[in-house]
Structure formats: C-alpha cells, structure tokens
Amino acid sequence: MDPAKLAKLQAAAAANRIGGKGTVRRKIVRKAKPSAAQDDKKLQGALKKLNVQPIPGVEEVNMFQEDGNVLHFTAPKVHAAVSANTFAIYGTGHVKELTELVPGILNQLGPDSLASLRKLAESYQAIQQGQQRGGNAPEEEDDDDVPDLVENFDVEADAKASLD
C-alpha cells in the first residue's frame, strides 16, 4: 500500500476515535448552546414549581435604580409567589430618568428616591437661576483663566519665516 495514502487514512481514523485502541469509532456530536426560548422554558418550569399566581390589574411597574434612573414597564404581566418572595414581571422595560415620570410616581417613591428627587429639584432650581442670571448679564462667563488673543500669530510666523 502507498505510504502517503496509509498516513492519510490513519490521520482520518485518529480524528474519529474517542477512546483507546480497542474502542469503537464514533462521531463527536457538538450540541448547540441553549437559546433564549429554552432559557425561558426553564424559567417557566422553575416558576411553576414555586406555584406563582398571576396578579391582575397592574398598569405599570417602576424599578428605581441606584443611579437615579427608573426601569419602567408599561402594562406588564405580573406573577407572584408571595411565600417565596418572588415576583416575575413580563414585558419590555425602558430605562427612563426620574424627571420623565415625576408627576405620576410621587406616591411610589421611598425615602432613598425622595432624597434623589430633592437633589434633582435643587439642581433644576440652580439651572433655572443660572439661566435667569445669564439672560440679564452679558455673555461674559467664567473664562478669566483663558487670556484674550491679542496678537495674530500667523502673521508673526510668516514674517519670521521670510527673514530666514
């Protein structure tokens, strides 16, 4: 038999062999990673084990984040297992700033959120006062650190180049 052909066959056989010398040659089957639908089915199974019950009549859900933003769900489906202290919220959430939702969520704010709302109101008032002062005063702002341009440097550079 041709040695090149023999080496080629041995390499192909070694690629398909999983075990040692006497084992049966088997193909390696690679499984695809689970998709989001499979993860959702697993989550549904876990929630079913907790015996979650749907909560009807929920119009919106707001989750307050530490950075002051709000994760807002409009008309979500809410399921709860109170015994396990577990709530499942289905729907698309949108990250919004606290200012966008202020009139409707005042009764939902806790002590931490009220503090951030106070800071927000103070900063808003400071911005308003700054705009009112800016409208009355000339447009000279705090640029005392930056000197005014007195000379034209391009002309000086051209004159220096012509002397050389």
Q: What is the model's pLDDT at position 52? A: 94
Q: What is the model's pLDDT at position 133? A: 75
Each residue of 29-77: pLDDT tens digit? Answer: 787 777 777 888 888 899 999 999 999 999 999 887 877 788 999 999 9
Cα dist from 131 to 80, 100, 128, whole Å: 48, 21, 5
- pTM equals 0.47
Place of tokens 């931490």: 112
Place of tokens 């909560």: 55
Encoded amino acid at 79, one letter: H
Domains of the chain: 47-137 (2.20.70.30)
